[in-house]
Amino acid sequence: MTTPEISAKRANEAAIGAIVGAVNDAVKDAVAALDAWFEHMRGPGGYGGPVAHWWQQSLLYTGAGLDWRYEGLMMGYLTLWERTGNARWLAKARRAGDDLVAGQLASGHYTASAFEINPATAGTPHEAACDASLLALAMALRQAGQRGWETYAVRAEYNLRSFYIAQLWNAEIQAFADDPRADAFVPNKAATAAEAMFLLSELTGNEMWAERYALPTLHRVMAHQVQGQSWLDGAIAQSTLNHRRIEKYFPYYISRCIPALLRGYRWTNDERYAASALRAMTFIAQWLQEDGSLPTVVYPNQRINRYPAWIAPLGDVLRAADELRPYGWDGDLSATEEWLLRGQDASGGIQTARGFGRQAAGARPASVPDVRDVLHVAGWCDKAFRYLAAHVSGELPTGTSAPFETACAFQGQPMHLIETPEKLEISTRGRLCYRWQKGNPWAETASPAFWLR
């Protein structure tokens, strides 16, 4: 006999199931569209496209960048292979790994490995992110009994030895510096190097990489974390330059420290690492805005700079939160996930930010977005891709990348952006001022406004 209570319970369960199914379908659609967009961003040597960043821009060089974009791409593809069993995802991860192998120089560096200052090499944390990706691929291939995994491991170890240990390891501070020519320590960049060292120890069985390099580096990261100052508790200072602590707090970059801290906990079972990671995320979460966004910088006087309010990059924040949940963190970041998904448009790419045009002013953004806001940047979209891939259940639909266009502005001038699977064009008052034919290493048309760094 079915009672009203049982009927109500079943109806409630069905409603919950429908919501969960709809969310999963939305995530699968988003991942499939991102994957289709990434295919159009491939050219000779790998994934290319212009870069918009807080620090500076790379709008002229549009060739393959062997930088941290490979971290999210390769980890995302490996996750999809694990979650779906479809070998095409492993093939894509391996193709990306082959880009890194082919692009490694005799010095151990990777070509164009500096993201916003590409085509420069020796970028941090970018080369360590490439190393971590290669090591994860090698581990996945070895566990699957597939041949050829050694090549990826050897190339990653070569970069870690020749660059990170030979040039960046600072024996005095027992941590990875950010520049072989200067006293510079950047916690989030050093944390990425520590992640790579943990992976190398796991793959080789040699504890030296973790014990001698990763753990001491994490101690230095934790030394940059604020303790006991109420609203700043858990924040990690951006850097130390020439023995001076830079007391600025970037929630995004703080989130990049969390996965390495959790690896430190799993390696040692020392609760200090997990506690540090939890406090870092608690600090981040208290700055969540109602719309799900985060301020870009928090200053010691409690002033904040909201702009640019990242969109695609927040995949890393969401991923860090996911990794913390087994350790007791239970914050609600659903609004941030919605903010991320709303940033995806017809191209399949996810927009970079809101408010680049008011980056320093901190006031409300203009009525139309800045060109840099609406750019789809491979090295930001990969972060969203990696996070979303971990929430896929079942095989993906066929994704498509359709033309996208929008009104925007740049340096006070009204502009119109059009992206298709073949090209990216920006015009002002009907006059073409920027064109990148996808696959080409340089923008073929760029007015002086786009030369900025």
Residues 6+ apart with CB under 8 A from 354: 293, 307, 308, 309, 311, 365, 369, 373
- What's the predicted TM-score (pTM) here? 0.93
Domain spans of the chain, in order of start: 22-402
In tens digits, the chain (453 residues) has pLDDT values of 455 555 544 434 343 343 345 568 899 999 999 999 999 999 999 999 999 998 899 999 999 999 999 999 999 999 999 999 999 999 999 999 999 999 999 999 999 999 999 999 999 999 999 999 999 999 999 999 999 999 999 999 999 999 999 999 999 999 999 999 888 999 999 999 999 999 999 999 999 999 999 999 999 999 999 998 788 999 999 999 988 999 999 999 999 999 999 999 999 999 999 999 999 999 999 999 999 999 999 999 889 999 999 999 999 999 999 999 999 999 999 999 999 999 999 999 999 999 998 875 545 556 899 999 999 999 999 999 999 999 999 899 999 999 999 999 998 899 999 999 999 999 999 999 999 999 999 999 999 989 866
d(CA 328, CA 65): 37
DSSP-derived pairing of the beta strands 304-305 and 297-298: antiparallel
- CATH, domain range 22-402: 1.50.10.10
d(CA 327, CA 333): 16
254 to 107, 220, 234, 274: CA distances (angstroms): 31, 14, 9, 14
Contact at 8 Å (CB) between 191 and 261?
Answer: yes
Contact at 8 Å (CB) between 443 and 62?
Answer: yes
Write down the number of H helices and E strands in the chain. Answer: 15, 16
Q: Tokens representing 370?
A: 């800045």
Burial of 449 (0-12, 13-18, 19+ CB in 10 A): middle
d(CA 197, CA 195): 5
